[in-house]
Amino acid sequence: MFDLLFRNAIVVDGNGERPVTADVAVRDGLIADIGQLDGAGARETIDATGAWLTPGFVDIHTHYDGQATWDPTFSPSILHGVTTLVMGNCGVGFAPLRAGEQDRLISLMEGVEDIPGVALAEGIDFQWSSFPQYMDRLAATPHSLDFACLVPHDPLRMFVMGERARGHEAATPDDVAQMRALLREALQAGAIGFSTGRSDNHRTSKGQETPASEADLAELTGLARAFDGLDHGVVQLVSDFDVLRSPERFDPEFDLVEQLAIASKRPLAMTWLQRDPGGEQYKQVARRVEAAVARGLPMYLQAAARGIGVITALDASFHPFMGFPGYKEVAALPLAERAAALRDPARRARILAEKSERLAGDGSSVPPLVDLLLARIDMISARMFPLGEVPNYEPTLQDSMLLRAKARGIAPLAAIYDYLCEGDGDNLLYFPIFNYNDGNLDVVGEMLRHPRALFSLGDAGAHVGTICDASFSTFLLTHWVAQGYLPLEQAVQMLSSRNADYLGLRDRGRIAVGQRADLNLIDPATLALRKPQLVRDLPAGGKRFLQTAVGYVGSWVAGQCVQREGVVTEARPGRLVRMGGGQPT
């Protein structure tokens, strides 16, 4: 007797093999048998005729570090087929923690990852000091999904160096030795690796550079030696390769990244974006990675599924009119009332004749974006598109607010104003910044097909007021597979076994006898993304974008159903994944 039996499923096994129709049986949280299982009995039998049965998806780049303490479901990742996730990316997180430093770590996460500080302060209990204690705190609460933790560089540096870390002083040999000891302690307790952030775009909520953003070679390679003698762990890194400062700094920065990979002797994956429209730096990154791999370095590229940008709306964190005096007069009204007030002809005329008050002084990332948008509105409006009930993430120029404005004979800013104020004020505009050129996602397709690409960068749990890219996995299937750009078996392999193998997780990512029964049953005829919605379900009433999907018949973690038809169940089989036999403190 099996616990669960899928009948006549289209099995996409995660190995990259062509799908086959078969029955799949589950017992004791593992895949027990595959084939034509005539006569087999089970406590639950599901007719999977016409549906894809895939391994559960493995998301290697999330920011649930705070949310995991109050949300056992990891929403919205659970709605998009994810069964295992990794948090602690980009060098930011909440451990190790020195007493009294909670607000500084909150400011760091709020600024870098656009998670409301009031929600973090309200939702996190901070009942830990060391990183192993942080993992113990998370492990004590059952979750829907499995999760693993990277050790972030910034809190590590702040814990050891205090004010000197925030002042970007160079770490002394003693500082490096202390950080290395803390990192090794965390790795031995089961942390899945180490992350660091070197992006000029990452700032605290006060506008300061992140503490580890300028860490030198001695510090990085000294930390990397924490992996010596261990047979697990990965390194995750985000860097602009100094493109904003000087193109000449690219090679020295990449040399540093290579030395980090050499010193750690572990797989290293870096964020991979086309950072400026029409830019070629992403090709330089690929060439350097290919050369490093040819020399034996295990380096990888984290690639997104679509353009990287923001959603703007009257109730989002970001929209062009935030700084206009006439808008501020009604900003506190409920959304529908605010939209109605903004449609008043006299107010509309006054606001469009006003100048925005400068917003860049408060240090967050959103006000400078507003200033940039307003300064270049005619050009940028060609990259702003309505995001409707059936969201289109590959719009053309004909869909843009620039062309809409020209058709009406009005200024682009007026067209944006009118669109955002329609109805109840819940219209959304999509503004892709990276990975999108001339009305297409061709560069993304090029990245996804690269042999060193790891499917990633959904940033689930982060930038909650401006994006909802936790849906990347669903978009990969509904766009790249459905339109024939990627074979189904290759896409599923990227979503599952390729990421699991990179992490060193050998018990999941494939449909094979003996593997964990982390599974998705998907109806390809109905699979689709829904329009993102702003919801207020964060602690302290904080708001975030939530994007759902249809077509996920169900998702199972260790054989237990965690969501059925988009409804999260009460099952909590998810656990902290401890690598290398790590144990609770």
Assess whether 217 and 130 both reside in one domain. Answer: yes
Assess whether 73 and 96 both reside in one domain. Answer: yes
Residue 45 lies in a domain: no
Domain count within the chain: 2
Assess whether 198 and 241 both reside in one domain. Answer: yes
Portion of the chain with pLDDT greater than 90, in percent: 87
Mean pLDDT over 242-258 rounds to 83
Query: At residue 460, does pLDDT exceed 90?
Result: yes
Assess whether 401 and 455 both reside in one domain. Answer: no
3-state secondary structure of 312: strand
Assess whether 149 and 265 both reside in one domain. Answer: yes
* pLDDT at residue number 114: 84
pLDDT digits (tens, 9 = 90+) for 418-442: 999 999 999 999 999 999 988 899 9
Query: At residue 125, does pLDDT exceed 80?
Result: yes
Residue 362 lies in a domain: yes
Assess whether 155 and 294 both reside in one domain. Answer: yes
* pLDDT at residue number 366: 61
Assess whether 452 and 407 both reside in one domain. Answer: no
* pLDDT at residue number 201: 76
Q: 113 versus 498: which is more confidently predicted?
A: 498
Residue 392 lies in a domain: yes
Residue 33 lies in a domain: no
Residue 252 lies in a domain: yes
The single residue listed with the structure tokens 């994810």 is: 82
* pLDDT at residue number 317: 87
pTM for the complete prediction? Answer: 0.96
Residues 398/388/331/344 CA torsion (nearest 10 deg): 70
Residue 389 lies in a domain: yes
* Residue 514: other Cβ atoms inside 10 A: 9
Domain boundary, last residue among 434, 466, 490: 434
Query: At residue 178, does pLDDT exceed 90?
Result: yes
* pLDDT at residue number 367: 63
Average confidence score pLDDT of the chain: 94
Query: Please, where are the H alpha helices in 39-162?
Result: 102-113, 117-123, 131-139, 153-161
Residue 421 lies in a domain: yes
Domain boundary, last residue among 405, 434, 463: 434
* pLDDT at residue number 363: 47
Of the pLDDT bands very low, low, confident and very high (cuts 50, 70, 90), residue 522 is very high
pLDDT digits (tens, 9 = 90+) for 332-371: 999 999 999 999 999 999 999 999 887 654 445 566 667 7
CA gap 74, 146 in Å, rounded: 10
- Quick one: 450 exposed, middle or buried, by C-beta within 10 A (0-12, 13-18, 19+)? middle
Query: At residue 585, does pLDDT exceed 90?
Result: no
CA gap 277, 115 in Å, rounded: 27
Portion of the chain with pLDDT greater than 70, in percent: 97
Mean pLDDT over 543-571 rounds to 98
CA gap 136, 10 in Å, rounded: 39
Assess whether 355 and 394 both reside in one domain. Answer: yes
Assess whether 101 and 191 both reside in one domain. Answer: yes
CA gap 30, 21 in Å, rounded: 20
Domain boundary, last residue among 479, 505, 531: 505
The range of the structural domain enclosing residue 365 comes to: 312-434
**Axis crossing angle, helix 173-188 with helix 131-139, rounded to the nearest 10:** 20
